[in-house]
Amino acid sequence: MDYTVVRNFPRGFREKRSRGIVSFAVQGNKKIRVREERKNRRIYMRRVIERKGQKINGGRPIVCVPVMAEREEEILRQAKDFIGRGARMLEWRLDFFEGLGDPKRIRRVLKDLKPLCENTLLLTTVRTRHQGGNAAVTEQELMDTYMLLAESGAVDLIDVEFFELSQPAKVIRQIQQQDVLAVTSHHDFGETPDYGVMTALLEQMERGGADLVKLAVMPREASDVLELLRATSDFYEEHEETPVISMSMGHLGLVSRAVGEIFGSCVTFAAMEGASAPGQPVAEDLEKVLDFFGKERQR
């Protein structure tokens, strides 16, 4: 059979070969692993992100657990408890933090979180009210917080609300310069947009330079969930260099949080103590479902 090797590496990457087949691309000490998938007579270059011994986009989705406490001591208690219970990735929701407007308090929490998260990925999120969160901040305040987080040396990923920024690509580059991954996101708590709109949103965030793209929507009927999964799967197949995270919220969308390994979503969110979004399941229960899908796929 004739197979075409796809070599659309991100800018600055070059290819490495193993026995004549592209095995990974490198840029300095960064590496994009290749997972060969023979479909439509193509070999896809699938980006797998590795940090702290964790793999993002490496098959089984990572379960990310939100930390939503208001006070510093409670944030640290939750983080320590969740990590002790097996959380591989935490999301610190700063929009719930009573000290959001105080850089000194944010830095203090990050300093204490860093040793706790030595082997656990730390995603930080400032969810604005426009995107369904609690933060009533200006664009400048949002950008200043992003840079504080990026420069802290404690954070692995930052959720960047792409469509709340006038120059998102510039902010993304500044974050990446600190060796922090930019997860560009869009949340629609009112509806599920048309398939074409969802794919356009994902592609626009990707063109902005995102390391990962995230889309969360609210279904009104079961067919909305199917449209979100279709948009996710198509983006996953056509944009192999950019990992995707997606979810359909609420009870109707619960299934979307469990089938990422099938449709391409590489991170899913679940609660250990208080849900951060409608329909978010209990982390321990979701881990069991993911284990089931993983075992069935290996048969």
Phi-psi region for residue 264, left (φ > 0), alpha (ψ -120 to 50) or beta? left
Which residue in the list 111, 114, 130, 214 is annotated as catalytic? 214
Distance CA 274, CA 280 (A): 9
The packing angle between helices 103-116 and 139-150, to 10°, is 40
Cα–Cα distances in Å, from 134 out to 25, 59, 97, 131, 148?
Answer: 40, 33, 9, 9, 19
- Measured CA to CA in angstroms, residue 274 lies from 4, 93, 209, 216, 252 at distances of 47, 12, 32, 18, 19
214 is a catalytic site residue: yes
Residue 35 identity? R
For the question of residue 295 being annotated catalytic, the response is no
What is the distance of C-alpha 228 from the center of its chain? 16
- Gap between the Cα atoms of 265 and 282, Å rounded: 18
As a whole number of angstroms, the distance between CA 43 and CA 53 comes to: 26
How many residues make up the chain in this entry? Answer: 299
Q: CB–CB of 59/294 below 8 Å?
A: yes
Among candidate residues 114, 187, 239, 251, the one labeled active-site is 187
Q: Which residues are catalytic?
A: 187, 214
